[in-house]
Amino acid sequence: MTQSNVMDLDKRRSAATSDEEARNPGMALALDWIDEIRVNRSAAERRVTTLAGRRTVKKQWQAAWLLKAVSCMDLTTLAGDDTEGRVRRLCAKALQPVRPDLLEALGADKLNLTVGAVCVYHAFIKTAGDALEGSAVPVAAVSTGFPAGQSPFETKLKEIELSIADGAGEIDIVVSRRHVLTADWRALYDEVKAFRQACGPAHLKVIIATGELGSIGKVAKASMVSMMAGADFVKTSTGMESVNATLPVSLVMMRAIRDYHERAGHKVGFKPAGGISNAKTALQYLILLKEELGDDWLTPKLFRFGASRLLGDIERQLEHFATGRYSAANRHPMG
């Protein structure tokens, strides 16, 4: 793969438009717009079922797409046994996500490749910030009673404020599912809007927990309400529900993003999370994103994978392309 093949992979911080100008400011809640939303679940499932057979990438093109996937990854650790040492090791991996010898073999050693962000619990924001100091990789913190979202509202706002004070540049919040399940769109809008205001300059990723909303139509409506309230990203899942990111719900959310952009004029990012653990699946998400939203969304500014295991498999696939051999997973440690 030549340098010209891969230089387009890492444009994430070179756009002329500033982050603040690009942010979604939100809009007034338009309940008539929400009421108009209809989703044909069978059609969505048919659409994604044909994806693997219609769109494939091979050889050097596959390697280039996988490098793109790495740059769009929120490298995540959200375990009960997390330690400062684990977080520091994860941050080191975030700054050097692919082994230097593999990047050199791919002709991609000049890309300065990093992941999109490191995602941790509040307790480890300062640890991650210290480990990432001097880089452009932000710290993302999960907040507002993650993962269930059942904390008192005032506690949720305080949690956001504390995370920003500790240095988080992105906040992944969870909505109160009851607002969606009861179709109380005003309550959902007011909640997300308050979270956005509490975030200040930090970017807000709204997790709508698609596997717990009861219907795919509510996924679309919850996504739209969150964008009206000022979400910078809409995100599928915490990764801890029984059903996490799937291609059908991702299609529905992407089309909500497209509709919002066409009608409100603002671009909102998308983050699938939970269960995306192999390179083949990651490629399907990238292809679907390109087909539904276009090349503008193929950047960490507007697309992220929430992942803890995905990077290891991508690195194995890149080694196979570079050497013709698959390697053991222990050759690609996360930290």
Sheet arrangement for strand 170-174? 269-271, 233-235, 203-207, 170-174, 139-143, 117-120, 73-76, 305-307
Asked if pLDDT for residue 130 goes beyond 80, the answer is yes
With respect to residue 37, please indicate whether it lies within any of the assigned structural domains.
no
Domain of residue 131 covers 3-7+51-331
Catalytic residue among 172, 205, 218, 313: 172
- What pLDDT, on the 0 to 100 scale, is given for residue 320? 93
Whether 81 is in a domain gets the answer yes
User: What pLDDT does residue 218 have?
Assistant: 98
Cα of first residue to Cα of last residue in the chain, in angstroms, is 28
Lowest-confidence segment of 55-59, 145-149, 202-206 by average pLDDT = 55-59
Give residue 261's pLDDT. 98
pLDDT band at 219 (very low <50, low <70, confident <90, very high): very high
Number of domains making up the chain: 1
Task: Say if residue 87's pLDDT is above 90.
Answer: yes
Q: Which of 93, 205, 235, 301 is catalytic?
A: 235
Per-position DSSP letters for 48-109, written without gaps between them:
HHTHHHH----HHHHHHHHHHHHHTEEEE---TT--HHHHHHHHHHHHS-S-HHHHHHTT-T
Give me the catalytic one of 93, 156, 271, 301. 271
Please tell me the pTM assigned to this model: 0.92
Q: Is residue 79 part of a domain?
A: yes
Each residue of 16-71: pLDDT tens digit? 334 445 799 999 999 999 999 999 999 999 999 988 677 788 899 999 999 999 99
Could you read off the pLDDT of 165-179 as tens digits, one per residue?
999 999 999 999 999
Residue 297 lies in a domain: yes
Q: Please, which contacts does 331-335 make with residues 24 or more away whose CB atoms are closer than 8 Å? A: 332/99, 333/93, 334/89, 334/90, 334/93, 334/308, 335/86, 335/88, 335/89, 335/90, 335/92, 335/93
Asked if 224 and 231 touch (Cβ cutoff 8 Å), the reply is: no
Query: Is 172 one of the catalytic residues?
Result: yes
pLDDT at 3 over 70: no
Give percent above pLDDT 90 in the chain. Answer: 86
Token match 């599912």: residue? 177
36 in a domain, yes or no? no
Among the residue ranges 11-25, 49-63, 114-128, 194-208, the one predicted with the least confidence is 11-25
**Whether residue 207 has pLDDT greater than 70:** yes
Q: Is residue 74 situated within a structural domain?
A: yes
Is 246 among the domain residues?
Answer: yes
The pLDDT of residue 89: 96
pLDDT in tens, 104-115: 999 999 999 999
Confidence category of residue 146, pLDDT binned at 50, 70, 90: very high
**28 assigned to some structural domain:** no
Mean pLDDT of the chain: 92
Residue 10 appears among annotated catalytic residues: no
State mean pLDDT over 183-208: 98
CATH, residue 87? 3.20.20.70
What pLDDT, on a 0 to 100 scale, did the predictor assign at position 106?
94
User: Which pLDDT value is given to residue 21?
Assistant: 53
Using CA atoms, how far apart are residues 263 and 320, in angstroms rounded to an integer? 44
Q: Please say whether the beta carbons of 175 and 192 come within 8 A.
A: yes
- Catalytic (active site) residue 290: no
Question: Looking up tokens 């919040």, which residue turns up?
Answer: 173
User: What pLDDT, on the 0 to 100 scale, is given for residue 2?
Assistant: 41
